[in-house]
Amino acid sequence: MTSDVEVTYRKRFDRHFEELRWLYMELYSNSSMFAELCDTMERFSRARSASLKERDLRKEADPDWYKDSDQIGMSLYVQNFGGNLQGVRNRLDYIEKCNVNVIHLMPFLESPKGRNDGGYAVSDYRKVRPDLGDMDDLQALTESCHKRGISVGMDFVLNHTSDDHEWARRARAGEGEYMSRYYFYNNPEVVRKFEETVPQAFPETAPGNFTYVPECGHYVMTTFYPYQWDLNYHNPRVFNEMVYNFLYLANRGMDMMCLIAHPYIWKEPGTSCCSLPQVHTITRLLRMIVEIVCPSVLLMSDAAFRPEDALPYFGTAEKPECHILYNAATMAAVWNSVATRDAFLLKNQLDMLSSFSAAHVFENYLRNHDDISWNLDYDLLRGQGIMEISHKKYLNDYFRGYSGSSNSRGELCNVDYVNEDARFCGRTASMCGIERAGFEGSDEMMDSSIRMDIMLHALLFMLPGLPVLYSGDEIGQVNDYSYKDDPEKARDARYICRGPMNWKLTENIDSPDTVQGRLFHALDILEKIRKEEKAFGSEAECWTLDTHAKEILGFCRYRNEEKITGLFNFSEHSQTAWINEENAGCRDLVTGEPVQTGSIVMDPYAFRYLKTKKSD
């Protein structure tokens, strides 16, 4: 007899079968590998626990759950946050106190010590790094999270494995079957041709896109670090096996899989090897596989492009690809406004984001574990006489605290002397001045820095999409320079943002006169407003507002006759916003006080959430 579960599986499978087969055959024209894929998918579906199957049904019935304004995320490193997986589980009360209900676990799978790019060089996709626990601990964590209504995401490194992965070891030993899972060439001319068109991911720390492997006398493609070997998705064995790894992890209770180095998974000579059409075919295949086997799982892409360039990664309404995309561009535009006291570029970008459909969900954040690569709209800036190279230099100097009236602290990474480019690394609190103010014991600077930090978070919560805090930002944790003492990390300044959580500081979160207390309390208010107010819902209409003050960004959300106007002053001076909209009965959502619109004086680094009801 067929069970309900089997009937459900069949329905999902039948719904996608034609397209799944079509795309797979288009890419691989290999029917036996396709048959193997289908059989294995069914096996993973059967192996899924009853509670995950139930979760699948619930999420299928409410497919837009992740768009709700009550979803607030936090990304964290297991070792930094809880020591290990069990430790993270012990800290779930704190996660809840932060009003967070989506945690994004940074890499925790097995990867060789010292040669792992922060965990992004996986040597075994089915094994947790031994010092962090094991798969049972992972499952126990996801189960505990689910019981509390917390979803769990992880990074799934799609593009490459560690050179210590079994496949890489066997390839190095010259086994053809395994060499064909990577891009191996013995002709330096082919390598040279690739280098002509493929840009450099890490020009300073890992120049070039190939690494010579003396053991087998070949060059292997390594877009990132030399020990991260690019997987060859031209080979259906690679696709199938990576899908099985994906499903294995999904069955441990993952709700969101962030596809790492996603745009790079398909390579062709003579191209940039980035965002090629086949990347979309593979993503679409993955999306259908998810919808068949584990429909509660979300696909997220780390395609860190400008929003308009990242859009194709959502696919179309009929043929969706990813559910969520990282919004690295808005993050960069926000910090650009901080350095220039000018919201023009940011406003322009938010205009574009607001014009996208509600189906396009971006993950917004102020800072994360990576650098800022200043991927701004230079065509637009050029119109204002601002040139790319000099502007990037200005921003990098500014945020290192070298120029302008900057209190920021941080460091550069991947300085590209040829193209005069560099990226900046620093944590939110340090970039706002909290680190400097603390060292110098300046109350005035501290006050201004905290105000900026809160204003930026208020903006983060206002943006359409999923807001994700970077663990430690809620207590203003600053840069960690200890990576310099570790020779394996010292050359990669991104580790400045990857220090351990300072739990001692969390003891202050209820003391309003401390840095931690001020920040935590302010964020708590903002998070609760975001979760409660209807106009923060994903169906809200959003638009930017002309404030007639270049330092003040205005952003409105409107839904069900309720409007919230957000004003954000990027200047250390008071500024006046001129609001030319009907705002009768307007009140400040934070203070509850009535506000007369027209001209609104904004204190240094102040923000306002102003609510108007049509009926008022």
Which DSSP symbol is given to 455? H
- Strand, helix or coil at 99? coil
Amino acid identity for residue 364 in this structure: N
Alpha helices in 271-364 (DSSP H): 277-293, 307-310, 328-340, 344-355
Min separation Cβ 260 and ligand GLC, Å: 5
Of 120, 183, 483, 568, the one binding ligand GLC by CB under 6 A: 120
DSSP H/E element including 587: strand 587-588
**Closest CB to ligand GLC among residues 368, 547:** 368
Sole window of 27-35, 114-122, 170-178, 430-438 interacting with ligand GLC (rule: CB under 6 A): 114-122
Task: Please give the distance of CA 329 from its chain centroid, rounded to a whole number.
Answer: 11
**Closest CB to ligand GLC among residues 483, 555:** 483
**Closest CB to ligand GLC among residues 370, 562:** 370
Of 56, 110, 117, 421, the one binding ligand GLC by CB under 6 A: 117
Amino acid identity for residue 419 in this structure: N
**Closest CB to ligand GLC among residues 370, 551:** 370
Site size toward ligand GLC (CB under 6 A) is 9
Min separation Cβ 350 and ligand GLC, Å: 24
**Closest CB to ligand GLC among residues 155, 342:** 155
Task: Assess contact for 469 and 73: CB atoms under 8 A.
Answer: yes
**Closest CB to ligand GLC among residues 416, 581:** 416
**Closest CB to ligand GLC among residues 67, 498:** 498
Beta carbons within 8 Å of 469's beta carbon, 6+ residues apart: 72, 73, 74, 75, 98, 100, 365, 457, 523
Sole window of 60-68, 115-123, 249-257, 519-527 interacting with ligand GLC (rule: CB under 6 A): 115-123
Which DSSP symbol is given to 315? B
Q: Is 486 exposed, middle or buried (0-12, 13-18, 19+ CB in 10 A)?
A: exposed
Q: Could you say whether residue 260 binds ligand GLC (CB under 6 A)?
A: yes
Pairwise CA distance, residues 295 & 288, whole Å:
9
Task: Assess contact for 218 and 186: CB atoms under 8 A.
Answer: yes
Of 137, 163, 204, 370, the one binding ligand GLC by CB under 6 A: 370
Phi, psi dihedrals of residue 284, rounded to the nearest 5°: -65, -40
Task: Point out the residue whose Cβ comes nearest to ligand GLC.
Answer: 120
- Strand, helix or coil at 576? strand
Min separation Cβ 159 and ligand GLC, Å: 7
Tokens 């302008």: give the residue. 404
HSE of 254 in the Cβ direction (CA atoms, 13 Å)?
A: 24
Contacts 24+ apart (CB under 8 A), 198-202: 198/223, 198/271, 198/272, 198/273, 198/274, 199/272, 199/274, 200/416, 202/414
**Closest CB to ligand GLC among residues 230, 377:** 230
Amino acid identity for residue 203 in this structure: P
x-marked contacts with ligand GLC along 150-189 as a string, rule CB under 6 A: ----------------------------------------
Min separation Cβ 370 and ligand GLC, Å: 5
**Closest CB to ligand GLC among residues 255, 302:** 302
Sole window of 21-29, 116-124, 452-460, 599-607 interacting with ligand GLC (rule: CB under 6 A): 116-124
Min separation Cβ 371 and ligand GLC, Å: 9
Min separation Cβ 231 and ligand GLC, Å: 12
Pairwise CA distance, residues 365 & 330, whole Å:
8
Q: Could you say whether residue 13 binds ligand GLC (CB under 6 A)?
A: no
Min separation Cβ 121 and ligand GLC, Å: 7
Min separation Cβ 377 and ligand GLC, Å: 21
Q: Could you say whether residue 112 binds ligand GLC (CB under 6 A)?
A: no
Q: Could you say whether residue 261 binds ligand GLC (CB under 6 A)?
A: yes
Break the chain down into helix, strand, coil percent, rounded to 5. Answer: 45, 20, 40
Pairwise CA distance, residues 299 & 290, whole Å:
8
Restricted to residues 299-318, the positions that interact with ligand GLC (CB under 6 A) are 302
DSSP H/E element including 607: strand 607-613
Phi, psi dihedrals of residue 459, rounded to the nearest 5°: -65, -45
Pairwise CA distance, residues 236 & 491, whole Å:
36
Of 224, 362, 365, 605, the one binding ligand GLC by CB under 6 A: 224
- Strand, helix or coil at 451? helix
Min separation Cβ 112 and ligand GLC, Å: 14
Per CB under 6 A, residues contacting ligand GLC are: 117-118, 120, 224, 228, 260-261, 302, 370
